[in-house]
Structure 1
Amino acid sequence: MEIKILNANMTYNKEDGYVGKVEFEVSGHKQPYEIALHSKHNRDWSYGLFFSQESGDEEQILAVEDWLEEDDDAFDLLVKAARDTLKV
């Protein structure tokens, strides 16, 4: 699978830690996705994966979720896209 980043952002505060969001497309998929990211200490990220604009094919979003669980480089790419927008 190939990812194209459409939009990304991340904020940080002491109470919530790092909170980010990345909107992206996956080649061959009809609907774009959005991943919400959270980490208290900039490691051990939790996330939620959603369709970005409107509901799409459930099999496709499940395939993306499985892929992100198995492919650390793909997941890290999304975290990096959000983290790169963080204002220090």
Structure 2
Amino acid sequence: MSKVTVERAGMQRDEENNFVGYAVFSVEGQTTEYEITFLSKRGKDWDYSLNFAGEPGPEEEFLKVDALIEADDELFDDLLDAAIDAGGFES
């Protein structure tokens, strides 16, 4: 697995009391930053969306990162934990 570095992250509750968070991260060997956003009603089952954080990069790199997140539960948990911790919530 390539090294992933979290640049910034955050988590808050929206007006419906859902958890809404994000983590902006980079992947070693790639020039593009990515943003993963998280959403959960109760802080247990998480939906996510992956996007480029700034300027779009190569689609094939994006698809590799998305597949990596899908396949690697530890990576997903690390990104989610960064968002939860930055928001002052307990994971």
Q: Indicate whether the TM-score tops 0.5.
A: yes
Partners of 2:43 and 2:54 in 1: how far apart?
Answer: 28
Whether 1:5 and 2:15 are equivalent positions in the alignment is no
Deviation at 1:17, TM superposition (A): 1.1
User: In structure 2, what is the Cα distance between the partners aligned to 1:14 and 1:29?
Assistant: 36
What residue number does 2:73 align with? 72
Amino acid at match of 1:28: G
TM-score (norm: length of structure 1): 0.93
Residue of structure 2 in register with 1:47 after alignment: 48
- The runs of 4+ residues in structure 1 deviating greater than 6 Å are none
Give the aligned residue type for 2:82. A
Please give the alpha-carbon distance, in whole angstroms, between the structure 2 residues aligned to 1:52 and 1:16.
25
Query: Does the residue aligned with 1:30 lie in a helix, a strand or coil?
Result: coil
> How many equivalent pairs are there?
88
Partner amino acid for 2:12?
T
Identity within the alignment, %: 38
Q: Render the CA deviation track for 1:1-54: whole Å, top value 9, x for unaligned.
A: 211000000002471411001100000111010011111111211111111110
Match for 1:6: what amino acid?
E
Matched with 1:60 is 61
Instruction: Tell me the TM-score normalised to structure 2 length.
Output: 0.90
Gaps of 5+ in 2: none
